[in-house]
Amino acid sequence: MTRRGARIPSWVTDTFLATLLTAGALIDLSNFDQTVIDALGYRSPDPVAVALILMQTVPVAFRRRWPTTALIVVSLGFFGDRNLNYPSTLAIFGLLFVFHAVGSELPRRRALVTGWSTIVLMTLFTMSGAMAGVVTIGTPILVFIFTSFPFILGLESQNRRKAEADLAVRAQRLEFDTAEAVRQERARIARELHDVVAHEMTVATIQSAAAQRLMGVDDEEARKAAREAEQAGHDGLVELRRLLGLLRTDEPAGRTPQPSLTQLGALVDQMVEAGLHVDVDIEGEPRMLPPGMDLNAYRIVQESLTNSLKHGGPDTTATVTITYRPEMVDIKIVDDGRGAASSLIDSASGHGLISMRERATALGGSFDAGPRHGGGFRVATSIPCDNS
């Protein structure tokens, strides 16, 4: 008993079909009345007639495994049966099944040559019999239709299977591409979340610590540091809500403008307020960059300065150099912080450097980061841009 939905093997179906066809043809042959045979001028059934029937029916069992061999054997049986003028039986339907197998199972070019050449040969054979008066003139037409129709159906079956296979491949490729797109989008959102939260929380933490140290010593500066910590927390929440909003809507972008290098001044001011000395050097002619490139460039600078603030120690100075070239934008951030190198290298499993590298490589750029000779840390990236 087969499982529900399981397909029966083709060889089982073909064997059953061959057995049924053989039994029908032999019963058909044995039921011919000798008077009718004599009246129609047929040769009387004998062992040769049985052998020719078997040649036309038994090969149906292996028609899909060896279609060319099955066609040759069945055709020879048909030619012998007709040439010796035995009574017609159900064995002739063996031609129908093997021609269908030739069209559906053989490679298309080979199927066309084998199928059509055999059809033409059989048609010419029966046409010669019609010219000799052995059969009627309509017999060649019937033979042509009887052989070409299943052959064409076999070709269509092969085309359908090929189309289904191509469709399955395309569906699999689409599924892979969709999964890859989802993975990349998740990585992009993870980078955004990390960079926003890490930056704003670092600033808030440092300013909160400064407020505690100055409390009772310089209350005005303490309040200023507390306001900066509050603002950093507020900005982090705004960015976090914006990113989460993108996950809940089909809108391509939120209402808040994306950060860009044009906002570098505000970022620097925030870093300075948090205690990091920052110098900015712009080389070349500044220009508008594609939105995705602009955002990633800004995030790389933001993450680098956040690391300098977090790991560099007191009185650290960071220098941001942005060089605009015709086909490239170079970004370099160096600091002279004490212990920055060891802190970052020891936390290599973190997401900061990974996030910056992913941003650069996603744009087809290069990325390099590491400790500087004499202390401090260096981050450098080059991102190609399209000026068209």
Instruction: Report the chain's mean pLDDT, rounded to a whole number.
Output: 81
Is pLDDT of 303 > 70? yes
pLDDT of residue 71: 94
d(CA 139, CA 128): 10
Give 381's DSSP letter: E
pLDDT tens for 132-148 read 766 677 778 888 888 99
Take residue 93 and report the two structure tokens written for it: 């339907």
How many of the other CB atoms lie within 10 Å of CB of 313? 15
Mean pLDDT (whole number) for 23-45: 83
Residues 6+ apart with CB under 8 A from 80: 52, 55
3-class SS of residue 214:
helix
pLDDT band, very low/low/confident/very high, at 246 (cuts 50, 70, 90):
low
pLDDT band, very low/low/confident/very high, at 4 (cuts 50, 70, 90):
low
**Segment (H or E) for 221:** helix 219-248
Span of 43-47, 150-154, 243-247, 262-266 with lowest mean pLDDT:
243-247
Take residue 152 and report the two structure tokens written for it: 């064409």
d(CA 39, CA 181): 78
pLDDT tens for 168-222 read 888 888 888 878 877 777 777 777 666 666 666 666 777 677 677 777 777 777 7
Is pLDDT of 243 > 70? no
| Of residues 130 and 307, more confidently modeled | 307
| Of residues 39 and 90, more confidently modeled | 90
pTM above 0.75, yes or no: no
d(CA 195, CA 4): 54
- Residues 312 and 337 sit within 8 Å (Cβ to Cβ): yes
pLDDT of residue 345: 46
pLDDT tens for 113-135 read 999 999 999 889 888 877 876 66
**Segment (H or E) for 155:** helix 138-214
pLDDT of residue 234: 67
CA nearest to 300, candidates 38, 177, 308: 308
Take residue 223 and report the two structure tokens written for it: 């309040």
pLDDT of residue 195: 67
Beta bridge partners of 278: 318
Take residue 174 and report the two structure tokens written for it: 């689409």
